Structure 1
């Protein structure tokens, strides 16, 4: 989707309501979720949905971009370990939307959003290393690989909360500075 001029306040509100409704619809209904249902729940006309998101795939991509932006914002509220825990919970909660995106064939390129997430996690890693809670031998690429791996496990492994907790405990033990 091309970036245009800034949206009017009412258009921004509509866009946010559409994204909120879409997350809910796709989480509940999966691929059966329709843009018509999104419009109904958002309280807007279907034309309004298509003005913001010309296709269902564009809507799914916007959800993912917003999710990544929210994760970057959340990183500022947590330490590294709490952020890992939050990310795994988010992955499990957003499973349906992520699965829809993966199965849609949409080529989602969000380099800016991913770059911001890398920066946020890098900052958390530096803070943890400066506090002496994470080994100085641990580098950002390893942390990102671990983060992606545990989120993939939460997405596809049928993880329940006790398994998430145990898996994160093993991971955190490996990261701790001895």
Structure 2
């Protein structure tokens, strides 16, 4: 049900993300990026060796997910942030779970330590928080009034998945932040 995203997916990815920019709070962007900009973002994720996956249901685009560096400082190179977007009409069908599970497994395969979920306080935050909890993420805090969108302050909930709680020193190089 999931596969690596390709250039052929960019129109659907751009449309889904653009809808969220204009009508939702899963992103704090306020101007939808162009398809060319989304292509740059896809390539930036890939250049770091991180996954960007697409889900399909019965051959129809159902959503996408990717990992990105959590923060741009070298000490954070073993921690990534997940982003998951599910297409309209596909919510409640397990698409989010499949997408998030796919990128978490890829993070584990890369020898990373933590996957962070950064979830805005919106009408869908309870579903997103529940999804993350079902996959083992724990609540790590709330940033109160962290963003201003749609003429209101929005909280951000931080969730964290420890991929290897007993780990000592890292055995993999981590994410290339250069």
**TM-score bucket (shorter structure):** 0.3 to 0.5
TM-score norm. by structure 2 comes to: 0.33
By percentage of residues, which structure has more helix? 1
TM-score between both structures, scaled by the size of structure 1 = 0.33
Larger relative strand fraction: 2
* Structure whose alpha-carbon radius of gyration is higher: 1
